[in-house]
């Protein structure tokens, strides 16, 4: 899925959750936290890069950084 520059972190996570068929609660359980904590970070746009990496990996995605031409 190529979503470069099109979605916020919150929107990206929601798309990954929907396409993976995993609920926010199930994701929170896998991360060892509460759904409210993830939701709050998504709402405030305060997710760290390593948190996004963990979420992406748990949902079967990877984050790829490429140098612009």
What does the pLDDT read at residue 27? 96
> What's the gap between Cα 58 and its chain centre?
9
> What's the gap between Cα 22 and its chain centre?
12
> What's the gap between Cα 48 and its chain centre?
10
The string of pLDDT tens digits covering residues 5-52 is 678 889 999 999 999 999 999 999 999 999 999 999 999 989 999 999
């Amino acid at each position: 899925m190529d979503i470069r520059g099109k979605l916020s972190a919150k929107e990206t996570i929601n798309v990954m959750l929907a396409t993976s068929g995993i609920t926010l609660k199930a994701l929170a359980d896998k991360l060892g936290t509460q759904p409210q904590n993830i939701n709050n970070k998504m709402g405030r746009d305060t997710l760290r890069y390593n948190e996004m990496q963990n979420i992406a990996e748990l949902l079967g995605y990877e984050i790829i950084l490429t140098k612009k031409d």
